[in-house]
Amino acid sequence: MDAQGRGRADNIDPADQWVLNPRTGEYELRLSPSAPQSPVPGPRGADGGASRRAPAPGSETPAREARREVPSQRRRRGAPEGPPERRGRRPAPQGKPQGKPQGKKTARGRKVLLWSGGTMALVLLAAGTGGYLYLKHLEDNVSTTDVGSAGKSSFSKDEAFNILVIGTDKRTGAGNEGYGDKGSSGHADTTILLHVSKDRTNATALSIPRDLIVDIPDCPTKQADGSTRIVPGSQGVRFNRSLGEGGRDPGCTMRTVQETTGIPVDHFMMADFNAVKTLTTAVDGVNVCLTHAVNDKQSKLNLPAGESKVEGEQALAFVRTRHSFGNQGDLDRIKVQQQFLGSLMRKMSSGDTLTSPTKLVKLAEAATKALTVDSAIGKVGTLKDIALELKKVPTKNISFTTVPVVDNPAEKRPVTVVLDQSKAPQLFDTIVNDVSLTAVKEKKKQEAAAVAARLKGARSDPSEVRVRILNGGAPAGSAQETLAWLQTEQGVDKSENLGNAPAQLARTTLEYAPDQADQARRLADILGLPGAAMKPGESVTNAQGMPTMTLTLGKDFKGAGVKLTAPQKAPDVEKSTADKVQCAG
């Protein structure tokens, strides 16, 4: 319980009770020592707790010793500071002023130092009794959905990760009766696949058009009674039907994205119309820019040309309007939404937000209440970890782009789109292979040097290459197909098929011991493997006790003899970055 709960909140700012622990980098709840109180008879106080006794002179309890290492909270506003000796200052000569009183500017400076440690309140409120209770409160705000095998069962801080962000048009929540389709179960109206690189130097936000024609696979969905029901798939339909229709849950949308792009989806976050309204209000508005004035009667957006600040209903109207920009279609609306998200990211990470306890708490409340996530990341501690990992990515290296599409040739007057096969596969491979859409030159130099080092050197004769093959996500029969091809066409006689790998991999890998580097380079040449697929490791032996390499065919495997060389640079696609202000028009 905090000071307010004890009835001793005299002029104490709640924000001042949270202090930064310099050892852990986390904010912790620290309360001032209680004022002297009358002794309470008996071993327990009137409130049922243990009676408080002053420690013996010179003694320190472990708790108080630990508290020494954490900066104490600021004094109560208006309370005397205490003797100068205790403050570490010399007593001022009598009759002389001790200097100018500290004003608002100094107090604000201290608060900046106190609160500039994270991007959301849920990152800051991480310890202490009050912090624990608040985290549990935030956790209760978040809704979760069990998507089964559609995503990962946990979140890892040391891997690249892909989160599907879904905006649904369901008419739920106060004030949303006039939005979306009446009676709709909530379709995937706005969908963005967010890829965050393994080294956190960059991220790609890939927008998926709602009118993209896709094949929706059969979808196992968890029912309220714990049973599983298979929702039948659909062929050649709009992507937005992957959610809501026939009982399809976000796991169905995740599966559809994976089937369409080949990009594994780890987790999802879903929000309705309220998310835009509450998040923008929590940060006191988001700046947007228009090349011309807009007065859209359908979305009720009415803004002048140039820069404006929008929040609440007006912010929602900005991201929903489709009749004010470009050709008045969904693709132009996507561009506007990307510009808006970039501005929201800048505002959330700005000093104006990070140094305001009030805004941070509002932001934590709004974010958790707006979200539905998969059960694997439903804990607030996990959401905090994700937020901290995202915080590491510079805004200049967060790229927004859209799945490359062309008008549907099957329609005389196209209203839907299909994949642009000349660009989309390369973009998908770029994301799968963790290649940045932004120019992170130093990273590319390091990667190129590592790849060159692995591929440089002598090559063994194919007859000397010893390898075992496992299927780690490739189509059924791929390991046997590769074995036959290596033995009959490439002369790699010392190869064997070990069947399925213990786990599925997104990408094909070749593991080898240092003394097998010559063999690894020869096999990489034969298979067309990139240097990134070559994994130096420890020696293993085959059934005959001979040292051998391990080739694990991943989900990127395209068939025996098909080169697997990953893209070394980003494809030429239209994109923007989160650090730049752009005007919608």
Hey, is 281 helix, strand or coil? Answer: helix
| pLDDT of res. 53 | 42
Bridge partners (DSSP) of residue 191 are: 166, 208
HEC states along 284-305?
A: CCEEEEECCCEEECCCCEEECC
Q: E strands of 320-459, at which residues?
A: 372-374, 398-402, 405-407, 417-419
Query: Which residue bears the tokens 């590769």?
Result: 482
Cα 487 to Cα 522: distance, rounded to the nearest angstrom:
14
List the chain pLDDT tens, one digit each, 585 residues. 433 333 344 444 444 455 556 555 555 555 444 444 444 444 444 344 443 444 444 444 444 444 444 444 444 444 444 444 444 444 444 444 444 444 444 444 333 333 333 333 333 333 334 555 666 777 888 899 999 899 999 998 889 999 999 988 665 555 555 544 555 557 888 899 999 999 998 999 999 999 999 999 999 998 888 899 999 999 999 999 999 999 999 999 999 999 999 999 999 999 887 788 888 888 889 999 888 898 888 878 889 999 999 999 898 888 888 777 766 677 888 888 888 888 888 887 777 776 777 887 888 888 888 889 999 999 888 888 888 898 888 888 888 899 999 999 999 888 999 999 989 998 998 899 888 887 555 555 665 666 566 667 789 999 999 999 999 999 999 999 999 999 999 999 999 999 999 888 888 999 999 899 999 999 988 988 877 788 888 879 887 889 999 999 998 888 888 887 655 556 667 777 776 777 876
| pLDDT of res. 76 | 43
Burial (CB < 10 A; 0-12, 13-18, 19+), residue 415, is exposed
| pLDDT of res. 308 | 92
| Both tokens assigned to 48 | 């049922």
Residue 60 makes CB contacts below 8 A (sequence gap 6+) with none
> What are the residue boundaries of the structural domains of the chain, listed by start?
143-439, 445-553
Assign a CATH topology to domain 143-439.
Aminopeptidase (3.40.630)
| pLDDT of res. 565 | 62
Cβ density class 40-54: b for 16+ within 10 Å, e for less = eeeeeeeeeeeeeee
> Which listed CATH number (3.40.109, 1.10.287, 3.30.70, 3.40.50) goes with 445-553?
3.30.70
- Considering only CA atoms, which of 349, 338, 369 is closest in space to residue 273? 369
Cα 424 to Cα 220: distance, rounded to the nearest angstrom:
28
* Helices and strands in the chain, H and E counts: 15, 26
Residue 48 makes CB contacts below 8 A (sequence gap 6+) with none
Alpha carbon separation from 144 to 141, 191, 489 (Å, rounded): 10, 18, 52
Given a contact cutoff of 8 angstroms between Cβ atoms, the answer to whether 233 and 219 are in contact is yes
H-type alpha helices, 57-177:
62-68, 104-115, 121-124, 128-141
Beta strands 575-577 and 540-541, pairing class: unpaired
Q: Do domains 143-439 and 445-553 have the same CATH topology?
A: no
Cα 538 to Cα 513: distance, rounded to the nearest angstrom:
5
| pLDDT of res. 438 | 77
Given a contact cutoff of 8 angstroms between Cβ atoms, the answer to whether 401 and 437 are in contact is yes
- The reported pTM is 0.60
Given a contact cutoff of 8 angstroms between Cβ atoms, the answer to whether 420 and 405 are in contact is yes
Cα 330 to Cα 488: distance, rounded to the nearest angstrom:
52
In this structure, what DSSP letter does residue 171 have?
-
| pLDDT of res. 55 | 44
| pLDDT of res. 146 | 93
| pLDDT of res. 117 | 33
Bridge partners (DSSP) of residue 547 are: 541
Given a contact cutoff of 8 angstroms between Cβ atoms, the answer to whether 244 and 168 are in contact is yes
